[in-house]
Amino acid sequence: MKKSHKVFATVATAALLLTAGVGAAAMATPAPATDIQPGAGTVVAQNRITVGASADAVGAALAKCQADNLPFVTVALVDRFGTVQALLRGDNAAEHTIEAAKQKAYTAAAFGAPTSELAKRLTGNGSGIDDLPGTLFLPGGVPLKVDGVSVAGIGVGGAPDGKLDEACAAAGAAAVTGAEG
């Protein structure tokens, strides 16, 4: 065996032993568990859309788009932090529609307003809210609220006009809220 191979083998063996030793030490002394008591000013209650309601919303939004002869869209429902709860990609929906739907949904959830309304607030003069990462200020995103507080957003991307995207998103929101879309 060449000297370079021996050095590599020695280093690899030492790394394996070190890793195994760290793993064994971590397993030998588990971190103590601490229960935080709710209501003590340390825990925040959070409303979330259930998995069933999320599925109903994205299904209703895509169904509206399909009924409008727009099968090439993607629908996303995200929580107020932008974490995807449900995503449904229509037949022939292009790759970019996935990110557009997620970003519209997040923008609506984060700002608590439809993205079509938010787009009207942009001035085009220098830096603005539209520079925030992960946001998209184009029509097609609708917030979902509990007691007036935004808890999620539904977004649609891929229609040839953002108003069509937003009509589909509104239909999805209506499936959860019971309001007319």
- Give the residue carrying structure tokens 């995200």: 78
Mean pLDDT over 84-99 rounds to 96
* pLDDT tens readout for residues 116-125: 999 988 877 8
Contact in structure between 69 and 164 (CB atoms under 8 Å):
no
Q: What pLDDT does 1 receive?
A: 52
Helix (H, G, I), strand (E, B) or coil at 94: coil
User: How long is the chain?
Assistant: 181
User: Taking the model in full, what pTM does it have?
Assistant: 0.77
* pLDDT tens readout for residues 60-71: 999 999 999 999
More confident position, 74 or 34: 74
Report the mean per-residue pLDDT for the chain.
85
